[in-house]
């Protein structure tokens, strides 16, 4: 039985201001045998890291301000056990391929999927390179029913195909997910369908005859912030908890982490108190399965916004395959990409009972915020996020395994790459509790950056590498950056067994997510 203080990583994004102290009275409940028990004296996570010196002044203090009323907010958490969550299905479409086998081959050969993009050039963008799935409109129409397709923007189309493939890969029958209140769908997007918004505005402003017909009744669903989860839950008849997350480039990873929470803490009870008990009890463990992921469009309309802020690579339009070059001194910005990806997460005993294949176990999830700058990472938020995820994984069934590989956020931006490498050094090499460097690489050097879908794409890349006993080369490094000193950057492919991988996703506004997967 666990009596934990508030430092529970499944609520890590919301608990930096909470106070530890007296546990809630214990209760008992029946749990699957896959649920891991902890003693009341075992903390779920290590204590928060206290910074000193220059590091302390670099970012705002995480210490909460006292409330004017001197009221204390205390949150207690109690759980009878923590259920194991495994990955039993994966679906993807990206510039590295639209099948798991094709993606594995691209990773193994470090084959870049980035190409020249004519419509970017035609519309005057400085960056004219992009990574996008090789899918024609005809192929999409063949796979998505017309009555569903009419509600969709490009990002939802990519996500639909990924979910369809993930379900097929999982071996789930229609009767096991359709109408099943235990099947959650946590599916997000980084941006909406800007194309539909533009066409709507142009039609309204034109005041041409029958302009309202040019807008039509479907633009809202194509462009709303919850398009992906709303459309897919409807199309696949999913009746468990369903909502979208939109957290910039951390979206896909946050969807996976929150999906884990839906399955993970069966029996967990959290009660918030402010002087007196207020609000409702929040019961976790709401699902046995969850479809988690995201879709992202790759049109010039959305890309132009990043181009105008100077975030994209523009020096290598003539050599698109090597334009994304994380950790190289000549990197000049990220290469935008699109596509979709979905994982099927499942409670371990449920998966075993139906004879499902298990790709990996999701053992760690960290989420937090820099609280520092809208577009520049602090590095310290990412460091703490990795520690949160690793602390959670270390308390799981595989214990304190070393992390063999970190798939960095690694977007090929001058500032972002440097900050992340320094964060990895502090979290692993310089931390006396670890004192080692995992292999470090960025798959974005061959895939580009698919924004909201990047977290799920890279989770899939990491799992495929672990499954197939290799780690992809971090490609296109000619002159490695100074910040890499002391780290095991993958200058060439590693072939060998891999037991634990970590995948980082960091987004604008300082939103961070980190996932840890273990070989089962």
How many other CB atoms sit within 10 Å of the CB of residue 520?
A: 16
Q: Is the predicted pLDDT of residue 72 greater than 70, yes or no?
A: no
pLDDT digits 0-9 by tens, 308-360: 999 999 999 999 999 999 999 999 999 999 999 999 999 999 999 999 999 99
Which residue among 409, 476, 481, 514 is the active-site one? 409
Tokens matching residue 261: 């929470």
Tokens matching residue 118: 């004519």
Give the count of domains, the chain.
Answer: 1
Give the Cα separation of 257 and 503 in Å (integer).
12
Percent of the chain as helix, strand, coil, to the nearest 5? 35, 20, 45
Q: Which one is predicted more confidently, 407 or 67?
A: 407
Cβ neighbors of 176 (< 8 A, separation 6 or more) are: 183, 289, 354
- pLDDT at position 264 is 73
pLDDT digits 0-9 by tens, 103-124: 999 999 999 999 999 999 999 9
Tokens matching residue 285: 């463990």
Which residue among 449, 457, 481, 514 is the active-site one? 449
Range of the domain at 140: 85-518
Question: Is there a contact between 252 and 456 (Cβ–Cβ < 8 Å)?
Answer: yes
Give the Cα separation of 169 and 161 in Å (integer).
12
Q: Is the predicted pLDDT of residue 277 greater than 80, yes or no?
A: no
pLDDT digits 0-9 by tens, 21-42: 333 333 333 344 455 433 333 3
Q: Would residue 124 count as lying in a domain? A: yes
Q: Is the predicted pLDDT of residue 168 greater than 90, yes or no?
A: yes
Q: What is the CATH classification number for the domain harbouring 97?
A: 3.40.47.10
DSSP bridge partners of 346: 86, 289
DSSP bridge partners of 66: none
The two beta strands, 500-507 and 405-407, are parallel
Q: Is the predicted pLDDT of residue 429 greater than 60, yes or no?
A: yes
Specify whether 254 is catalytic.
no
DSSP symbol at 36: B
* H helix intervals, 172-274: 174-177, 194-206, 211-215, 219-223, 227-235, 251-264
Give the Cα separation of 134 and 153 in Å (integer).
17
Interior CA angle at 335 toward 440 and 132, to 5°?
Answer: 105
Q: Would residue 71 count as lying in a domain? A: no
Spatial CA neighbour of 333 closest among 341, 342, 324: 324
H or E element at residue 365: strand 360-369
Q: Is the predicted pLDDT of residue 77 greater than 90, yes or no?
A: no
Question: Is there a contact between 106 and 460 (Cβ–Cβ < 8 Å)?
Answer: no
Q: What percent of the chain has pLDDT over 70?
A: 80
Spatial CA neighbour of 410 closest among 399, 400, 421, 425: 421
- pLDDT average, residue stretch 170-176: 97
Which residue among 35, 95, 249, 385 is the active-site one? 249
- pLDDT average, residue stretch 199-225: 93
- pLDDT average, residue stretch 509-519: 98
Q: What backbone torsions phi and psi does residue 435 show, to the nearest 5 degrees?
A: 70, 35
Q: Is 131 in a helix, a strand, or coil?
A: strand
Specify whether 409 is catalytic.
yes
Give the Cα separation of 432 and 211 in Å (integer).
66
Give the Cα separation of 286 and 261 in Å (integer).
9
Q: Write the CA distances from 514 to 104, 388, 406, integer angstroms.
A: 22, 8, 10
Q: Write the CA distances from 152 to 146, 184, 193, 359, integer angstroms.
A: 10, 21, 9, 30
Q: Is the predicted pLDDT of residue 17 greater than 70, yes or no?
A: no
Q: Would residue 420 count as lying in a domain? A: yes
- pLDDT average, residue stretch 126-151: 97
How many other CB atoms sit within 10 Å of the CB of residue 252?
A: 38
Question: Is there a contact between 325 and 485 (Cβ–Cβ < 8 Å)?
Answer: no
- pLDDT at position 285 is 74
Q: Is the predicted pLDDT of residue 7 greater than 90, yes or no?
A: no
Give the Cα separation of 367 and 514 in Å (integer).
7
Specify whether 457 is catalytic.
no
Give the Cα separation of 171 and 176 in Å (integer).
10
CA atoms within 13 A on the CB side of 387: 25
Q: Would residue 8 count as lying in a domain? A: no
Q: Considering only 189-198, 230-239, 361-370, which range has the smallest mean pLDDT?
A: 189-198
- pLDDT at position 61 is 44
Chain-wide mean pLDDT for the chain? 85
Give the Cα separation of 159 and 83 in Å (integer).
27
Q: Which one is predicted more confidently, 263 or 478?
A: 478
Q: Write the CA distances from 444 to 134, 153, 305, 472, integer angstroms.
A: 17, 24, 20, 11
Residue 265 pLDDT level (bands cut at 50, 70, 90): low
Q: Is 448 in a helix, a strand, or coil?
A: coil
Q: Would residue 181 count as lying in a domain? A: yes
Question: Is there a contact between 506 and 250 (Cβ–Cβ < 8 Å)?
Answer: yes
- pLDDT at position 284 is 60
- pLDDT at position 39 is 36
- pLDDT average, residue stretch 464-489: 98
């Amino acid at each position: 039985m666990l009596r934990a203080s508030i430092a529970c990583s499944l609520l890590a994004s919301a608990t930096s201001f909470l106070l530890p102290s007296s546990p809630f009275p214990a209760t008992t409940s029946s749990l699957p045998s896959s649920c891991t028990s902890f003693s009341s004296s075992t903390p779920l996570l290590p204590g928060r890291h206290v910074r000193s010196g220059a590091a302390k002044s670099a970012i705002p203090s995480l210490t909460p301000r006292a409330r004017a009323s001197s009221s204390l907010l205390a949150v207690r958490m109690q759980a009878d056990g923590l259920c194991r969550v495994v990955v039993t299905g994966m679906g993807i479409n990206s510039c590295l391929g639209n099948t798991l086998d094709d993606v594995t081959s691209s990773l193994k050969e470090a084959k870049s999927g980035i190409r020249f993009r004519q419509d970017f050039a035609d519309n005057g963008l400085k960056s004219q390179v992009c990574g996008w799935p090789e899918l024609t409109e005809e192929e999409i129409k063949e796979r998505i029913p017309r009555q569903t397709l009419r509600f969709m923007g490009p990002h939802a189309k990519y996500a639909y195909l990924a979910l369809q493939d993930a379900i097929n890969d999982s071996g789930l029958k229609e009767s096991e997910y359709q109408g099943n209140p235990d099947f959650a769908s946590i599916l997000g997007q980084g941006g909406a369908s800007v194309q539909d918004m533009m066409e709507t505005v142009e039609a309204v402003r034109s005041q041409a005859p029958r302009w309202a017909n040019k807008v039509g009744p479907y633009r809202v669903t194509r462009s709303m912030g919850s398009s992906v989860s709303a459309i897919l839950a409807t199309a696949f008849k999913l009746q468990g908890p369903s909502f979208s997350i939109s957290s910039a480039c951390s979206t896909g990873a946050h969807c996976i982490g929150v999906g884990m929470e839906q399955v993970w803490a069966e029996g967990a009870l959290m009660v918030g108190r402010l002087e007196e008990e207020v609000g409702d009890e929040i019961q976790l463990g709401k699902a046995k399965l969850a479809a988690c992921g995201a879709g992202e469009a790759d049109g010039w309309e959305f890309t132009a916004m990043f181009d105008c802020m100077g975030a994209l690579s523009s020096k290598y339009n003539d050599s698109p395959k090597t334009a994304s070059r994380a950790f190289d001194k000549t990197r000049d910005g990220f290469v935008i990409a699109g596509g979709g990806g979905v994982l099927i997460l499942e409670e371990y005993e449920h998966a075993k009972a139906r004879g499902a294949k298990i790709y990996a176990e999701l053992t760690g999830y960290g989420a937090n915020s820099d609280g520092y700058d809208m577009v520049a990472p602090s590095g310290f938020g990412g460091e703490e996020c990795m520690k949160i995820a690793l602390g959670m994984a270390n308390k799981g069934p595989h214990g304190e395994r070393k992390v063999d590989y970190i798939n960095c956020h690694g977007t090929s931006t001058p500032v972002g790459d440097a900050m992340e490498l320094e964060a990895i050094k502090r979290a692993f090499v310089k931390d006396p509790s670890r004192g080692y460097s995992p292999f470090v690489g960025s798959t974005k050097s061959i895939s580009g950056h698919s924004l909201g879908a990047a977290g799920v794409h890279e989770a899939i890349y990491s799992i495929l590498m672990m499954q197939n006993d290799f780690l992809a080369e971090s490609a296109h490094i000619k002159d490695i950056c100074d910040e890499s000193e002391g780290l095991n950057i993958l200058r060439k492919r590693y072939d060998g067994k891999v037991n634990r991988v970590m995948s980082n996703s960091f987004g604008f506004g300082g939103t961070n997510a980190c996932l840890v997967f273990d070989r089962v």
